Amino acid sequence: MQEIPKPSKKQPCHPLDDLIRTDRIPHIWCPGCGIGTVFSSCLAALKGSGINLGKTVMVSGIGCSGRAAGYVKLDSFHTTHGRAIPFATGLKLANPELNIVVFSGDGDLFAIGGNHFIHAARRNMDMTVICVNNLNYGMTGGQVAATTPYLAKSTTTPVGNPETPFNLPLMAYACGATYVARWTMLHTRDLTDSITEAIGKKGFSFIEALSPCPVNYGRRNKQKPLDMLKVYQKKAIIKNDADPSTLDIDFEKGIILGKFVDVDRPTFIEHYDKIYRPSRLQENVPGLNS
Amino acid sequence: MDFWRVPLDADTIKVSLGIVHILEDRCKGCGYCIEYCPKQALELSTKFNQKGYHPPVVVKPEECVNCHYCEIICPEFAIFSVESPPITEPGRAGTHPNSAIKVK
Ligand SMILES: Cc1ncc(C[n+]2csc(CCOP(=O)(O)OP(=O)(O)O)c2C)c(N)n1
Ligand code: SF4
Ligand code: SF4
Ligand code: SF4
Ligand SMILES: [Mg+2]
């Protein structure tokens, strides 16, 4: 038997410690779960983007990914299931000065919360939405999700998923998102650059981050944590500006990553103020007409 | 650092060098940092941390080039690298303070 060491009294400080509620670390995510890496990438982007972090809010829904809001040392909301985007919309409309980052899971954002996503993108609500896509409902034990690949196994599709999954970037693009990108947690530098760019951009930005859920998805699909990372490494095809309709995830042929959409159009608030609050526009209220 | 032959500009090019810090009790032993360190500077330690996981250990400190990849791939905020001051001595520039140029 080896001796179990006592907790070291003086630990060095991680460079992101100032953005983490360190009293809650280690976090709840399982060994090998990719959410922590996506979260770390998001924090690095927040830090590097130069925005006023005192006026930045992170909003999450329910799920393992949704726990992120509880670990960030910024104003944050851990909302009800599927409702991160409507909460975020309310925050932005009540206080247009705020920078809003929604960090949540594929089930939360695209199953129960699917309609909210569609309409926030359609309205071009000014926020950055980061979706940790781990291909299943991790938190509740690995049920099939709207993103589970065809034929993949889950607790509710024990012999294989008969459904066709969403192509998330296509959906975001079709709904009107002005910034759309996809990376994996292995491509963490690109992911961080993309999140930084999206945070600095006006309008509805969407970033899909593929990430392993070794405990619920990996185990049923015979994938150890490192196997999934090897797949990301071997099957990634970086193709910026790829046609969104070609972005179905195919682990055999390849997974297309990159920035697919980066356009400008007026945000919801800009339209609203033009029609309903023309005087406020003239007063130059911060954040309203930037 | 190992070279197949010593580059002609070895004394002028400064390779960045790093020192790795590990917050052992945060680690959950996933091994991602070890697998993806471009210099194979890390290995799984045989010892246990407080939660019963094996944290990584720096086995080749002189190899670390301060690329930060271990730091950004770690899901646990458990490892990071900081820059180590480069050596400017002729013939040893770009090598780690505690190593010498080796030719294989
Ligand atoms: C209204 C409601 N319905 C169902 C649930 C159960 N539930 C909790 S998390 C979750 C799915 C989460 O999946 P995802 O967003 O992909 O997050 P992950 O855990 O995979 O990161 C479900 C269905 C709930 N909490 N509330
Ligand atoms: S269940 Fe899956 S998604 Fe949830 S923490 Fe564990 S590995 Fe991550
Ligand atoms: S900083 Fe780079 S070279 Fe140094 S240990 Fe980490 S991954 Fe390896
Ligand atoms: S990546 Fe982090 S959690 Fe995983 S073994 Fe390395 S230090 Fe530990
Ligand atoms: Mg999920």
- State whether the beta carbon of B20 lies less than 6 angstroms from ligand 4: no
Q: B48: nearest CA in chain A?
A: A4
Q: Does B48 touch chain A (CB under 8 A)?
A: yes
DSSP state of A111: I
Average pLDDT over residues A245-274: 97
For ligand 4, atom 2, which residue shows the shortest CA distance? B74
- The pLDDT of residue A18: 97
Average pLDDT over residues A108-128: 98
Q: How confident is the model at residue B9 (pLDDT cuts 50, 70, 90)?
A: confident
3-class SS of residue A237: strand
Q: Give yes or no for a contact between A103 and A36, defined as CB atoms under 8 angstroms apart.
A: no
A94 Cα–ligand 3 center, Å: 44
Any idea which of A51-65, A241-255, B13-27, B63-77 has the lowest mean pLDDT? Answer: B13-27
A18 Cα–ligand 5 center, Å: 27
Q: Please tell me which residue, B87 or A78, carries the higher pLDDT value.
A: A78
For ligand 2, atom 7, which residue shows the shortest CA distance? A213
Average pLDDT over residues A85-94: 98
- The pLDDT of residue A248: 98
Indicate if the pLDDT at residue B97 is higher than 60: no
How much is the mean pLDDT over chain B?
86
From B99's Cα to the closest Cα of chain A, the distance in A is 24
For chain A, the C-alpha Rg in angstroms (whole number) is 19
> In this predicted model, what pLDDT tens digit does every residue of A15-45 receive, in sequence order?
999 999 999 999 999 999 999 999 999 999 9
Find the CB nearest B77 among A2, A32, A40. A40
Q: Where are the extended beta strands (E) located within chain A?
A: 56-60, 75-78, 99-105, 127-133, 179-184, 204-210, 236-238, 255-262
Average pLDDT over residues A262-268: 98
Task: Walk me through the domains of chain A, giving residue ranges and CATH numbers.
Answer: 29-283 (3.40.50.970)
Q: Give yes or no for a contact between A99 and A44, defined as CB atoms under 8 angstroms apart.
A: no
Rounded to whole angstroms, the Cα distance separating B12 from A14 reads 32
- The pLDDT of residue B89: 57
Any idea which of A125-139, A185-199, B6-20 has the lowest mean pLDDT? Answer: B6-20
> In this predicted model, what pLDDT tens digit does every residue of A135-152 receive, in sequence order?
999 999 999 999 999 999
Q: Does B49 touch chain A (CB under 8 A)?
A: yes
For ligand 2, atom 8, which residue shows the shortest CA distance? A33
- The pLDDT of residue A190: 98
DSSP state of A250: B
- The pLDDT of residue B86: 66
Q: Provide the residue type at A23 as one letter.
A: D
How much is the mean pLDDT over chain A?
94
- The pLDDT of residue B100: 45
Asked if the bond preceding A26 is cis, omega within 30° of 0, the reply is yes
- The pLDDT of residue A290: 47
- The pLDDT of residue B12: 79
- The pLDDT of residue B13: 78
| Cβ–Cβ below 8 Å for B53 and A31 | yes
Rounded to whole angstroms, the Cα distance separating B32 from B79 reads 11
ipTM value: 0.91
Q: What is the DSSP string of A187-228?
A: SHHHHHHHHHHHHHSSSEEEEEEE---IIIIIHHTT--HHHH
- State whether the beta carbon of B29 lies less than 6 angstroms from ligand 4: yes
Q: Provide the residue type at B6 as one letter.
A: V
Q: How confident is the model at residue A270 (pLDDT cuts 50, 70, 90)?
A: very high
What are the sequence ranges of the domains in chain B?
A: 17-95
Average pLDDT over residues A183-191: 98
- The pLDDT of residue A111: 98
Average pLDDT over residues A255-268: 98
Which CATH code is given to the segment(s) B17-95?
3.30.70.20
Of B76, B77, B81, which to mutate for an interface test with A (greatest number of A Cβ within 10 Å)? B77
Q: Given ligand 3 and candidates B27, B69, B82, B84, which is best to mutate, with the most ligand atoms within 8 Å of its CB?
A: B69
Indicate if the pLDDT at residue A266 is higher than 80: yes
Indicate if the pLDDT at residue B95 is higher than 60: no
Name chain B contacts of A189, Cβ cutoff 8 Å: 72
From A32's Cα to the closest Cα of chain B, the distance in A is 5
Indicate if the pLDDT at residue A9 is higher than 70: no
From the CA of B34, the nearest ligand is 4
